[in-house]
């Protein structure tokens, strides 16, 4: 039996302001001095304007647009149910409405990270609306993110990683491709979206470097280790591109078209079953393992931050917690008062 949720009360009508009434109060001027009326913009239209703004002005990636679109579609669906099938216009959405929406997310046991991301989407959406004139204020601004429990990242030991990297068959073209994908992700700490976006022109064999297009259209250079380079050369010698490909993607499917992130996930699941490794392992685990192994072997955290492409050092510091055992070994071996009698 599904849970029942109490819908928030519809907002009370706004009384006319003195000296002009509702019609004048609802009018604002945009930066080009054109009069806009916030009430002529329903929620679906406002969402469409916002996504166009992200795509055209912010140059947002397709994945970012997809995430924002899904978050705002979920809000629209909730408000439609709360307001008898028709969601209110953006200027009528209140903080109380959004609190009800967040309560439903909590009741459905969404993760705290998902709730925080959706709340960030709402803040951006209504901030844009206030700037454009179809929202009077930002009702999401007073809402606080849920307190997140920092989970330690799951990573593979060096022995487990070697077992995974040896799993793809060397005598099959797809096996060579899979090994090259795993080696490349581990050699440079790539996200799965970054590895499928690689083109031939991103590989610098002379400098043993990889050009990586990361989040927010930011580019960075990553190392191309000898194992990954050898695996790439073996795969590219067997790769066949589809005639319709205008680019030259490094990793393609059996039809010669660019590989998708989901395909990489399915590929990894196959080798996890084959090797009996922890089923919690995901493509991102290779990135976690890359950072953890570097810190375990003495790399400084600033260098790891640059290699991972993190904007903030705080994001990278989570990996310092999983290297505690190594630090304890160093401490007990080096500090005179740490030695046990």
d(CA 148, CA 186): 28
Distance CA 287, CA 308 (A): 8
List of long-range contacts for 51-56, beta carbons under 8 Å, 24+ apart: 53/128
Active-site hit among 215, 220, 248, 326: 215
Give catalytic status of residue 191 as yes or no.
Answer: yes
User: Catalytic: 108?
Assistant: no
What is the rounded distance in angstroms from the CA atom of residue 285 to the CA atom of residue 289? 6
Give me the catalytic one of 39, 127, 163, 310: 310
Taking a C-beta distance cutoff of 8 angstroms, is the pair 205, 224 a contact? Answer: yes
Q: Does residue 284 have an active-site annotation?
A: yes
Hey, what are 2's tokens?
């599904």
> Residue 70, Cα to own-chain centre: how many angstroms?
13
- Polymer length in residues for the chain: 341
User: Does the annotation mark 83 as catalytic?
Assistant: no
Which is catalytic among the residues 112, 154, 284, 326? 284
Report the C-alpha gap between 1 and 198 in whole angstroms.
Answer: 47
Q: Which of 177, 239, 287, 288 is catalytic?
A: 287
Choice among 191, 258, 288, 293 that is catalytic: 191
**What is the gyration radius of the CA atoms in the chain, in angstroms?**
26
Q: How far apart, in Å, are the Cα atoms of 80 and each of 88, 109, 204, 255?
A: 8, 21, 52, 43
Q: Cα 94 to the chain's mean position, in Å?
A: 28
Active site residues: 191, 215, 284, 287, 310, 319
């Amino acid at each position: 039996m599904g849970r029942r949720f109490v819908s928030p009360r519809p907002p009370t009508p706004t009384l006319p302001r003195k000296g002009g009434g509702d019609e004048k109060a609802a009018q604002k001027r945009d930066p080009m001095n054109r009069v806009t009326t916030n009430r002529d913009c329903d929620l679906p239209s406002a969402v469409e304007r916002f996504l166009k703004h992200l795509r055209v002005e912010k140059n947002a990636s397709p994945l970012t647009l997809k995430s924002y679109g899904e978050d705002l579609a979920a809000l629209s669906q909730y408000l439609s149910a709360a307001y008898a099938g028709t969601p209110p216009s953006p200027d009528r959405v209140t903080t109380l409405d959004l609190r009800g929406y967040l309560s439903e997310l909590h009741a459905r046991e969404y993760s705290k990270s998902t709730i925080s991301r959706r709340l960030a989407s709402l803040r951006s959406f209504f901030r844009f609306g206030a700037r454009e004139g179809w929202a009077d204020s930002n009702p999401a601004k007073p809402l606080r993110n849920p307190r997140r429990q920092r989970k330690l990242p799951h990573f593979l030991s060096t022995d487990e990683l070697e077992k995974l990297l040896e799993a793809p068959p060397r005598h099959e073209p797809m096996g060579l491709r899979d090994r090259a994908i795993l080696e490349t992700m581990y050699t440079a700490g790539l996200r799965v979206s970054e590895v499928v976006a690689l083109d031939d022109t991103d590989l610098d064999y002379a400098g043993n470097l990889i050009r990586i297009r990361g989040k927010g259209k930011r580019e960075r250079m990553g190392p191309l280790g000898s194992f990954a380079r050898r695996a790439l050369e073996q795969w590219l010698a067997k790769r066949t591109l589809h005639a319709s490909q205008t680019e030259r993607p490094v990793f393609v499917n059996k039809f010669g078209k660019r590989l998708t992130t989901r395909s990489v996930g399915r590929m990894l699941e196959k080798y996890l079953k084959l090797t009996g490794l922890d089923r919690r392992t995901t493509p991102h685990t290779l990135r976690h393992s890359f950072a953890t192994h570097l810190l375990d072997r003495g790399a400084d955290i600033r260098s790891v931050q640059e290699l991972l492409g993190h904007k903030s050092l705080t994001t990278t510091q989570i990996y310092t917690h999983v290297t505690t055992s190594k630090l304890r070994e160093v401490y007990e071996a080096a500090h005179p008062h740490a030695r046990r009698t």
